[in-house]
Copies of this chain bind each other. A is one copy, B any other.
Amino acid sequence: MAELLTGKEVAAALNQRSKLILEELQANNITPKLAIVRVGEKENDLSYEKGILKRCDELGVLARQVVLPLEVKEEELLKAIEELNEDESVHGILLFRPLPKRMDEDRIVNAILPQKDVDGATDLSLAGVFSGKPMGFAPCTAQAAIEALDYYGYDLSGKNVAVVGRSMVVGKPLGMLLLGRHATVAMCHSRTQNLADITSQADIVVAAIGKPEILTASYFRKNQVVLDVGVSWSEKKGKLCGDVDFDEVSPLVKAITPVPRGIGAITTAVLMNHVVLSAKSTLK
Contacts and interface: CB of A to CB of B under 8 A. Distances in A.
Given A127-B124, A131-B123, A186 B184 contact: yes
A160 interface: yes
Give chain A's interface secondary structure class. Answer: mixed
Contacts of A175: 187
A176 to B, nearest CB: 8
Given A157-B191, A158-B192, A187-B175, A131 B182 contact: no
Work out how many copies of this chain go into the complex.
2
A111 to B, nearest CB: 15
A145 B112 CA distance: 35
A182 B191 contact: yes
Contact of A130 (B126, B135, B188, B191): B126
Given A124-B123, A127-B123, A168-B131, A179 B184 contact: no
Contacts of A127: 123-124, 126-127, 130
A189 B160 CA distance: 11
A68 B228 CA distance: 54
In which size bucket is the chain A interface?
20 to 34
A175 B123 CA distance: 18
B158 A191 contact: yes
Contact of A135 (B123, B160, B179): B123
A135 B182 CA distance: 28
Contacts of A130: 126-127, 129-130, 172, 176
A63 B123 CA distance: 31
A166 interface: yes
A159 B175 CA distance: 18
Contacts of A198: 160, 184
Nearest to A195: B184
